[in-house]
A = this chain, B = another copy of it.
Amino acid sequence: MNILQILKILAILVIMIAVFMLIPALLSLLYDEEACFRAFGITIAVMLAVSIPVLVFGRQDKKRVLSTKSSFLLVTLSWVTASLFGALPFFLSAAIPSFTDAFFETMSGFSTTGASILTQIESLPRSLLFWRSLTHWLGGMGIVVLTVAILPLLGIGGLQLLRAEAPGPTVDKITPRIAETAKILWGIYLGFTVAEILLLMAGGMDWFDAATHTFGTLATGGFSPKNASVGHYNSGFIDAVITVFMLLAGINFTLHFRMLTGKFRQIFLDTEFKVYISIFLIATAILTYDLFVNYPVYQSLGQSIRYAAFQAASILTTTGYATADFENWPFLSQTVLFFLMFIGGCSGSTGGGIKVIRVLTLIKTGLNEMKYLIHPRGVFTLKIGNRPVKKDIAYAISGFFVIYIFMLLLVTVVVSTAEHDVLTSLTTALVTVGNIGPGLGDIGPAENYAFYADYIKWFLCFAMLVGRLELYTVLIIFTPVFWKK
């Protein structure tokens, strides 16, 4: 383990976050939010005070390649460190008086979950609201770089499939070096950000609302500065823009890169993309049927489609924005959304959950088993698209799924120790491990996480982190084999 190396990279991360924190600090000046300005100032000072010495006094190592173990530790500690420092402005300004709550809100931000402990969101100072949404945006970008450029190298839970799957140039062929890849992805992310902000402003939002909602959309986070989330604006245009950008954020970013380089046809050759869009369309169709024909909630077909599509995209991509309180929807709709909570976005996107490519591989694994039962000596190759999937990868994905389900059950049990009902406990597990945000029961889209006991909030922070980092990255640290020489 290269502890020093890890600390140095963490120090760079802390400085980068401090730089981004200058924006809300400036806003707090602008809006005359004195307590916030002081809080941001102190936080930035502390961040520089702890990180600069590490960089300056750290032994001047040659740049060494991190070991696999160190990489796991570094990635996990990155999110923890970011959340620890990121929570300080909320806490120091006394806007969120409990440090547990402040940490929860920040971890929820950086993990792009969007679960909030705030009961009155709009009463939070605007600079803090901006920082809250900015944590989404930074966390989302971190995840894209992580899953596209770093995790495949570590071989986490079958995500190496990503490379086998990519039609045409493979991920590592896009550019030879991680830094180059990261730059391109940042460029795409930034482009989407500008585009969505402009569109939302065209739809009538001011720049502040447009920016914060854009951060929440592209990170598939879900924090909104409004109590009523996106439903606040009651605008068909805004709903449409956010629906489309949520869906874009849930797509593998290497596909966006191909789109930008003019290879439009390739996106339609991508199996994961096709399945992802199909799931969205089928879910929207069932929801529309349920909301318009079966147990009418909306007056017109258009309205039904609008609300169905928004909520389906929001849950499937694990964003968690709401334009309707789906707890008041008929039960078939609720079950469809419950179902979507298991799936999540595409690999290499900012979306959480199990991921479409894994769900697809799992189904094919199960079907393949049946073929073997009928023809025990047959050879059946598992194929995604036209490409064969190695048995070891399918095996790794099954392992991932098992751990995912057990993680869900563990969180469910922990939440229920504080006497929350089974549905609340279970969907809390689903929406924290899946990084979604709102669930069913006591944590519906019109509710929040404030009522949970402190020990549950801390455990949910752990759940959000584990889910966001593809389970293994974090859990592996708790295995004895990790600490063996």
Within the assembled complex, what's the spacing in Å between the Cα atoms of A481 and B369?
12
Over the window 320-353 of chain A, the binary record of Cβ atoms lying under 8 Å from chain B Cβ atoms (1 yes, 0 no) is 0000000000111011101100100000000000
A residues near B, CB below 8 A?
A: 68-69, 72, 154-157, 295, 330-332, 334-336, 338-339, 342, 362-363, 365-376, 391, 394-396, 398-403, 405-406, 409, 412-413, 416-417, 419-423, 425-426, 440, 472, 475-476, 479, 481-482
How far in angstroms is the closest Cβ of chain B from A169? 24
Task: Report Cα–Cα, A210/B366, bound state, in Å.
Answer: 43
Is A476 touching B409 in the complex (CB atoms < 8 A)?
no
B479 lies within 8 A of A331 (CB): no
A342 CA to B410 CA in the complex, in Å? 13
Are B374 and A416 touching (Cβ within 8 A)?
no
Chain B residues, CB < 8 A from A401: 398, 401-402, 405
A91 CB to nearest B CB, Å: 31
Q: Are B342's CB and A409's CB within 8 A?
A: yes
Chain A interface, DSSP helix/strand/loop, else mixed: helix
A333 to chain B, nearest CB (A): 9
This protein's copies in its complex: 2
Residues in B with CB closer than 8 Å to A475 are 370
CA distance A395 to B419 in the complex (A): 37
CA distance A476 to B367 in the complex (A): 9
Chain B positions within 8 Å of A402 at CB level: 362-363, 365-366, 398, 401
Q: Is the CB–CB distance between A472 and B373 below 8 Å?
A: yes
A365 to B398, CA, bound (A): 9
Q: Within the complex, what minimum Cβ distance (angstroms) separates A189 from chain B?
A: 28
A157, A409, A422, A423 pick with most chain B CB within 10 angstroms: A422
A309 to B6: give the CA distance in the assembly, Å.
50
* A396 contacts across to B, CB distance below 8 A: 369, 372
The answer on a CB contact under 8 Å between B416 and A331 is yes
Q: How far is the CA of A295 from the CA of B479 in the complex (A)?
A: 34
Contact call A413/B68, Cβ cutoff below 8 A: no
Q: Provide the residues of chain B in CB contact with A367, threshold 8 Å.
A: 479
What are 15 A-B contacts defined by CB distance under 8 Å? Answer: A68-B373, A68-B374, A157-B369, A331-B422, A334-B422, A335-B425, A342-B409, A362-B402, A369-B403, A369-B472, A373-B476, A391-B395, A394-B395, A401-B402, A426-B426
In the complex, which of the residues B332, B409, B472 contacts A417, with contact meaning CB atoms closer than 8 Å? B332
Q: Looking across the interface, which residue of chain B has its beta carbon closest to that of A336?
A: B413
Q: Are the C-beta atoms of A331 and B420 separated by less than 8 Å?
A: yes
A399 touches B476 (CB 8 A): no
Known: A366-B399, A406-B366. A421 touches B331 (CB 8 A): yes
Task: List chain B residues, Cβ under 8 A from A395.
Answer: 365, 369, 391, 394-395, 398
Tell me whether A370 and B472 are in contact (CB under 8 A): yes
B154, B330, B331, B399: the one within 8 Å of A398 (CB): B399
